[in-house]
Amino acid sequence: MTRTSVRSAVRVAVVAVLSVAMLVPMYIMVVNAFKPQQEILLSPLGLDLATATTEHLAAAWQNTSFPVVEGYAVTLFLVLACNVVAIGTSVPAAYAIARTPGPLFRFLLFFFVAGMFVPAQIILVPAIFVLRATGLMGTLPGLVLFMASTMIPFTLFVFSGYIRMLPRSLDEAASIDGASRQRILWTIVFPLMRPIVATAFILNALSAWNDFVSPQLILGPGSEFKTITTGVYAAVSTYTTNYEIVFPTLLLAVVPILVIFVVMQRHIMGGLSAGAVKG
Amino acid sequence: MARTTSSRRGFAGSLVSGLMTIPAAAVYTGLTVVPVGFAVYYSFTQYNGIPSQPPTWVGFENYARIIQDPIGDLRPAVVVTALIAVAGAFLVNGAALGLALLLRRTTPFNTFARVVMFYPHVLSALIVGFLWQAILGPQGAVNNLLESRGASSLPFLADPDWALTTLIVVIVWAQFGVQLVLYLAGLQAVSPELQEAARLDGAGSVQVFRHVTWPALAPTVTVTIVTSVLSLLKVYDVVLGLTNGGPGDATQTWAYEILAVSFANNKVGLACAQAVLLVLVAGILSFTIIALRRRAEEGAEAVG
């Protein structure tokens, strides 16, 4: 064997071992979701097909503290609604900031970008008082507005950077033809922004999907609306050693997002690196 | 005459532009800027969050309480968070850069490996915490395996020092995929001609990395350090799932202290002072890192 082929064999072996290490927790979760507690404790890695059962999975599905279908519906609604608010408000604002010269608009950009350094869950405590004062506490609109406000800084920042790279001659030609700025924005500029809108959508969607603190504190633990994360918390947090509950519940919570991820992996990982390069 | 028209049009244009920023500014101001203002105000008061009992002004008392820490209940969270941020940032970036170098060529095997390295990031941190709790807990999968082989169990989550180490490793496991993707994107920007030229000049792969690849990666390194430190400073969900802050206060992070201790015990003034300090630390750290990295990035321009 030549030196390069030895080296590439070592490289493949290292990566393979690390990949297995990354996947072991998923394997443990999947096999144990089909076993009774006693068997989970006795042989955590095996799966005896003779005694495998979907009983606990069915119980987790019917658990009233984590209504799975509704949890998915609420979470999906949050993903879409937050993105509509964050992207819908950031597009015109970023366009105005990118296309208007002057110190006022430079300051506005700085004002928005400063929000990227404010962690959402840290500002949640005082935000609760604002939501209470406006009657939005405990409601889905309140939650959507709060989560969208934490997405606006990044979204607006990457949008304004992207619009700056689009040729100004496009807007100028349209404005000579008499089109209004709103029309220029939505019919000419916005379609050109598709790649960066996709990036922002994916990153915002991931953070909305996985957010636990905002829905838990804004909707409240007793809320009729449960997201996937607050539902899992309600179902699992007091039974962390009852593995008959833990593993099937976690399995139900992660399978759809993992399927979406595997199908969309190129777009998700590509969107992330595009966002970083532009940001 | 022509000048007045153009300046009037400029003014009208600015007005329209200003109007276009209003929806975003309203949402962002109402639920991020105003809360920051409230946090600053409440941080100077004693307030239990009950509307009928208005906050009372106490000046810097909350800040003095945090800094002097008379009953020794706040400093552990600062130490835990600092350890997570420093150790986590090194491990996350080391693992991500190492794997990015191994996986930089796009082959089907490497694409598969990238997906495998990245997938924990699409799971919520709370679920990651619960999952590892079930694997490493006293009754968890690993300890049951050890006991069934006759070995003694390991206190992954039961011993304070072990628990903090476990927490850091779990965070790294869940997070380094993001930095890996950023490094892979950065590596694509490194000029292959330059690397090839260095190799032709007789440089070994270590030398090529040190003198060509690493300097050219400088801007990426800045981004990955800042993003990883920012996310490590606010670690909360994974703690809730994995250890719930325990044993004792061994894994209580600063964010955990704010949300699950101060705020949960109706100490809104103290919670807000802690939040203000964390935002300040995050901002100062980010700007310091960016300023310190500027020199390395100037080197990158010279190489690129």
CA distance B247 to B137: 12
CB B241 within 8 A of CB B129: yes
Write down the pLDDT at residue A236.
Answer: 87
Write down the pLDDT at residue B10.
Answer: 67
Indicate whether B154 belongs to any domain: yes
Nearest CA in chain B to A126: B35
Question: Band of the pLDDT at A275, cuts 50, 70, 90?
Answer: low
Integer angstrom CA distances of residue A204 from A154, B192, B220, B272:
9, 34, 21, 26
The most confident of the ranges A85-94, B99-108, B262-271 is: A85-94
Nearest CA in chain A to B270: A125
Nearest CA in chain B to A40: B141
From the CA of A223, how many Å to the nearest CA of chain B? 18
Q: Is B294 a residue whose pLDDT tops 60?
A: yes
Q: Is A53 a residue whose pLDDT tops 90?
A: no
Asked if A47 is an interface residue toward chain B (Cβ–Cβ < 8 A), one would say no
Q: Is B303 a residue whose pLDDT tops 70?
A: no
Indicate whether B210 belongs to any domain: yes
CB B110 within 8 A of CB B103: yes
Q: Is A82 a residue whose pLDDT tops 90?
A: yes
CB B96 within 8 A of CB B179: yes
Indicate whether B28 belongs to any domain: no
Write down the pLDDT at residue B207.
Answer: 87
Number of domains in chain B: 1
A150-189 residue pLDDT tens: 999 999 999 998 998 888 888 788 777 777 888 888 988 9
Indicate whether B285 belongs to any domain: yes
Indicate whether B115 belongs to any domain: yes
The domain segmentation of chain A, as residue ranges, is 68-278
Give the least confident one: A219-223, B92-96, B162-166, B236-240: A219-223
From the CA of A78, how many Å to the nearest CA of chain B? 15
Q: Which residues of A touch B121 (CB under 8 A)?
A: 206
CB B254 within 8 A of CB B77: yes
Q: What is the mean pLDDT of residues A211-231?
A: 90
**Fold annotation for A68-278:** MetI-like fold (1.10.3720)
B48-90 residue pLDDT tens: 878 788 888 998 989 998 888 888 788 889 999 999 999 999 9
Indicate whether B225 belongs to any domain: yes
CA distance A279 to A162: 10
- Encoded tokens for A95: 């366009």
Question: Band of the pLDDT at A24, cuts 50, 70, 90?
Answer: very high
Write down the pLDDT at residue B9.
Answer: 58
Q: What is the C-alpha radius of gyration for chain B, rounded to an integer number of angstroms?
A: 25
**Closest CB from A25, A206, A211 relative to B135:** A25
Q: Which residues of B touch A127 (CB under 8 A)?
A: 31-32, 35
Question: Band of the pLDDT at B252, cuts 50, 70, 90?
Answer: very high
From the CA of A150, how many Å to the nearest CA of chain B? 7
From the CA of B155, how many Å to the nearest CA of chain A? 15
**Closest CB from A150, A213, A272 relative to B237:** A213
Nearest CA in chain B to A248: B131
Nearest CA in chain A to B11: A100
CA distance A214 to B276: 18
Q: Measuring CA to CA, which residue among A93, A247, A17, A246 is closest to residue B25?
A: A93
Q: Which residues of A touch B227 (CB under 8 A)?
A: 276
**Closest CB from B20, B121, B148 relative to A93:** B20
Question: Band of the pLDDT at A29, cuts 50, 70, 90?
Answer: very high
Q: Is A254 a residue whose pLDDT tops 60?
A: yes
Q: In this predicted model, which residue has the larger pLDDT, A43 or A112?
A: A112
CA quadruple A139, A142, A146, A152: dihedral positive or negative? Answer: positive
Average pLDDT along chain B: 87
Q: Is A273 a residue whose pLDDT tops 80?
A: no
- Encoded tokens for B269: 């003034």
Q: What value of ipTM does the predicted structure carry? A: 0.90
Angle at the Cα of B256 from the Cα atoms of B253 and B257, rounded to 5 degrees = 85
- Encoded tokens for A27: 């394997």
Asked if A32 is an interface residue toward chain B (Cβ–Cβ < 8 A), one would say yes
CATH number of the domain residue B126 falls in: 1.10.3720.10
Interchain contact, B286 vs A117, CB within 8 Å: yes
Asked if A190 is an interface residue toward chain B (Cβ–Cβ < 8 A), one would say no
B101-131 residue pLDDT tens: 999 888 899 999 999 999 999 999 999 999 9
Write down the pLDDT at residue A279.
Answer: 45
CA distance B217 to B190: 7
Q: Angle at which helices B160-188 and B75-102 pack, to 10 degrees?
A: 40
Strand partners, B57: B45
A104-144 residue pLDDT tens: 899 999 999 989 888 888 889 889 989 998 999 989 999 99
Q: Is B1 a residue whose pLDDT tops 50?
A: no
Integer angstrom CA distances of residue B288 from B182, B222, B234:
21, 11, 18
Q: What is the mean pLDDT of residues B187-213?
A: 85
Q: Which residues of A touch B139 (CB under 8 A)?
A: 41, 241, 243
Interchain contact, B126 vs A232, CB within 8 Å: yes
CA distance B25 to A90: 9
Q: Measuring CA to CA, which residue among B123, B117, B232, B255 is closest to residue B171?
A: B232
Write down the pLDDT at residue B54.
Answer: 85
Q: Is B295 a residue whose pLDDT tops 50?
A: yes
Asked if A279 is an interface residue toward chain B (Cβ–Cβ < 8 A), one would say yes
- Encoded tokens for A9: 């064999």
CB A29 within 8 A of CB A6: no
Write down the pLDDT at residue B2.
Answer: 41
**Closest CB from B38, B119, B121 relative to A129:** B38
From the CA of A216, how many Å to the nearest CA of chain B? 11
Q: What is the mean pLDDT of residues B155-165?
A: 90
Q: What is the mean pLDDT of residues B155-159?
A: 88
Interchain contact, B121 vs A206, CB within 8 Å: yes
Domain interval for residue B211? 73-303
Question: Band of the pLDDT at A209, cuts 50, 70, 90?
Answer: very high
Nearest CA in chain B to A244: B134
For residue B121, the 8-state DSSP code is G
| Percent of chain B's residues with pLDDT above 90 | 46
Interchain contact, A149 vs B27, CB within 8 Å: yes
Q: Is A220 a residue whose pLDDT tops 90?
A: no
Interchain contact, A115 vs B181, CB within 8 Å: no
Q: Which residues of B touch A277 (CB under 8 A)?
A: 185
CA distance A167 to A186: 16
Question: Band of the pLDDT at A1, cuts 50, 70, 90?
Answer: low
Interchain contact, A272 vs B181, CB within 8 Å: yes
Q: Is B135 a residue whose pLDDT tops 60?
A: yes
Q: What is the mean pLDDT of residues A221-248?
A: 87
Nearest CA in chain A to B37: A126
**Closest CB from B16, B237, B278 relative to A122:** B278
Residue A148 neighbours by CB under 8 Å, 6+ apart: A81, A82, A85, A86, A89, B27
CA dihedral B211, B183, A191, B11 (to 10 degrees): -70
Nearest CA in chain A to B262: A125
Q: Which residues of A touch B24 (CB under 8 A)?
A: 89-90, 92-93, 112, 152, 156
Write down the pLDDT at residue A140.
Answer: 93
**Closest CB from B103, B118, B237 relative to A15:** B103
Q: Which residues of A touch B49 (CB under 8 A)?
A: 129
Indicate whether B12 belongs to any domain: no
Q: Residue with structure tokens 């606006």?
A: A152
For chain B, how far is it from start to end, CA to CA, in angstroms?
50
Q: Is A31 a residue whose pLDDT tops 80?
A: yes
Q: In this predicted model, which residue has the larger pLDDT, B232 or A275?
A: B232
Asked if A188 is an interface residue toward chain B (Cβ–Cβ < 8 A), one would say no
